[in-house]
Amino acid sequence: MPIPSRTLGAGGPSVGAIGLGCMGMTWAYSAEDRDDATSVAVIHRALELGVTLVDTADMYGPYTNEELVGRALRDRRDEAVLATKVGLVVEEGPPSYRMGRDGRPEHVREAIDASLRRLGVDHVDLYQLHRVDEKVPVEETWGAMAEVVAAGKARAIGMSEASVDELDRAHAIHPVASLQSEFSLWTREPLADVIPWCAEHGAAFIPFAPLGRGFLTGRLAAGSFQDGDFRTGNPRFSDEAMAANEAIVDRVRAVAERHGAAPGQVALAWALAQGEHVIPIPGTKRIAYLEENSAAANLALAPEDLAELDEAPAPVGNRY
């Protein structure tokens, strides 16, 4: 069954209701099970399933993720809605994963050209400010992002992990087509402000880590992470926090059993139910999980299911 579509921002392109986050193919998670040929096959299968929003960033790798995505889309560019990002820079790779921010207009102008070269395309469909740089007024950064659109190098621009104030300030200069932020059953804060802002302003809301970095699938066990996996330093993935947070997964499992679905599918269906402008981008390096995730777009949760999930306990441990 083909997956339903949603609109990527006011007047934007139609995309599959579930997208594909490509970060883990080259960055942040375990390197031991990465394989470029398999990742390319995953991207190709995604397009066949109607998972057309393909999300990357220049700092994933750094740079190698865009190169991988570019290879995968070399002969299939017209089938994908391609999104990348600017504004985060890698100061130190694993195990610390220390990041800096660079929102200077000159950096934006240089970075888009570099991203286009790595991707092997003449434009991206969505160019996103990965993080607002506190040292640069958002108006200056966003003005440079708007220049990218005027130059035909991006069809639209979006933000990531921005506040309502930052969204308002940017939107006054050029329409914000999307906001990408972490959102899932164990990261529900965006429901209070930015998800409603997106609905009011015709912007898409793109949840990253909608499966709780894999935790909501019920497949992760404490102590199972390999060297180089950034989750080893994430407070929510300490042994104690994971044990406490099993209460959230138990709630998801109960709903999944009633529907004959996988827990991860229920977690994605819950995110989709938060608004027609919500387009989750779960990441995966395996075709089987891609197919499982995409099928969640056709899983309809009943009001009582949603109510039960809404009552799941708050997570133990900070995100970072």
| Active site (catalytic) residues | 60
Here the tokens at position 63 are 């740079």
SS3 of residue 154 by DSSP: strand
List phi, psi (to 5°) of 43. -65, -40
Q: How far apart are the first and last CA of the chain?
A: 37
> Which of 7, 134, 125, 9 lies closest to 56 in space, CA to CA?
125
DSSP state of 56: -
Task: Please report where in the chains the tokens 């999944």 appear, as a residue.
Answer: 256
| Strands of the chain, DSSP E | 5-7, 14-16, 20-21, 53-55, 81-86, 88-92, 98-101, 126-129, 157-160, 178-182, 204-208
SS3 content of the chain, % helix, strand, coil (to 5): 45, 15, 40
**Is 105 in contact with 70 (CB distance < 8 Å)?**
no
